[in-house]
Amino acid sequence: MTETADDRITARQFHDSDGVEDWRVILGTVQTLFRTGSFTAGVELVDAIGELAEAANHHPDVDLRYATVTVRLSSHDVGGVSARDVALARQISAAARELDLVADPTAVQDLEIAIDTLVGSAVQPFWRAVLGFDEGSPEVPAPDLHDPTTHAPAFWFQQMDAPREQRNRIHVDVTVPHDVAEARVTAAIAAGGHLVSDRRAPAFWVLADAEGNEACVCTWQSRD
């Protein structure tokens, strides 16, 4: 049976699926990291992924490093995660096991930089020009500005109702696997930070360092 464009699933449905224990939902994608230990082993895994992707006509983003391979799956035609990603994730995990490679899904994360603004249209062109970024498209939901090479953190603009002179206007969003978020928050507080708000947890916790610079630790949870 051929999957169609109506096969989008939620983050919860993905994580409730069998055989996807190696993977985590991060910002509308499904990701994992394989610790290969060598470049040669990584190339072998990438070759196997390439064959599976071609057979499925469903192509992930793959980042090959000396001792790791990071894989990111999503279905652009539905703007998120689909049943096709479940199927390919299972196949990639099986291929990695055949190569005796271990997944470390708690090592994946995505970084975004958010700018609080009263008039986003007044500042967005500046950031687009200075960064050389593109705008998100209706077909592929994305932050307001993103790196066309996908290597740099995305920038997005958060609407403020009134000036907040006492707070920094730029904060960092760190999206992590749901099962490491609380440990990350605890570690940040132990390292000298403090909790600004956990009102929206586990979707996100707002933290700040000793001088008030803010970071949000984010997950997919409580967003479906």
Q: Could you tell me which residues are beta bridge partners of residue 35? A: 68, 102
Class assignment of domain 11-104?
Answer: alpha beta
Proportion of the chain above pLDDT 70, given as a percent: 92
CATH 3.30.1360.20 in the chain, residues?
A: 11-104
- Does position 4 have pLDDT exceeding 90, yes or no? no
Please, which pLDDT band fits residue 122 given cuts at 50, 70 and 90? confident
- Does position 143 have pLDDT exceeding 80, yes or no? no
- Does position 167 have pLDDT exceeding 70, yes or no? no
Sequence length of the chain is 224
Proportion of the chain above pLDDT 90, given as a percent: 67
**Which DSSP category does 119 fall into?**
-
Is residue 11 helix, strand or coil? helix
- Does position 166 have pLDDT exceeding 50, yes or no? yes
pLDDT (mean) for 112-141: 78
- Does position 168 have pLDDT exceeding 80, yes or no? no
At 138, list the tokens. 């209706």
- Does position 2 have pLDDT exceeding 80, yes or no? no
Please, which pLDDT band fits residue 135 given cuts at 50, 70 and 90? confident
Tell me how crowded residue 31 is: count the other CB atoms within 10 A of its CB. Answer: 26
Q: How much is the pLDDT for 3?
A: 46
- Tell me: the pLDDT tens digits for 204-220? 999 998 878 899 999 99
CATH 3.10.180.10 in the chain, residues?
A: 112-218
pTM listed for this prediction = 0.87
- Does position 140 have pLDDT exceeding 60, yes or no? no
Write the CATH number of the domain with boundaries 112-218: 3.10.180.10
- Tell me: the pLDDT tens digits for 40-83? 999 999 999 999 999 999 999 999 999 999 999 999 888 899 99
Residue linked to tokens 């994608």:
29
Closest CA to 70 of 22, 31, 110, 122: 31
